[in-house]
Amino acid sequence: MEGSLITVVLTIAMAAVMIGSMLIASWLAPKIVGRGWSGVRSDTTPYECGSRPFDAVDKHRFSVKFFLVAMLFILFDIEAAFLIPWAVTFKSFAADKAFVLGEMAVFLGILVAGYLYLWWRGALEWE
Q: pLDDT tens for residues 43-82?
A: 556 665 555 556 665 666 667 777 778 888 888 888 888 8
Q: What pLDDT is stored for residue 18 in this prediction?
A: 97
113 CB burial (10 A radius; 0-12, 13-18, 19+) = exposed
Task: Say how far apart CA 109 and CA 117 lie, in whole Å.
Answer: 12
HSE-CB for 15 with a 13 A CA cutoff:
6
CA-derived radius of gyration, the chain = 24
Q: Which residue has the higher pLDDT, 34 or 10?
A: 10
Average pLDDT over residues 28-38: 71
37, pLDDT greater than 60: no
- 28 vs 35, which has greater pLDDT? 28
What's the pLDDT score for residue 13?
A: 97
Q: State mean pLDDT over 81-105.
A: 82
pLDDT at 20: 96
Q: What does the DSSP assignment read for 8-75? A: HHHHHHHHHHHHHHHHHHHHHHHHHHTS-GGG-GGGGSSSTT-PPPSS-TTT----HHHHHHHHHHHH
Higher pLDDT, 43 or 34: 34
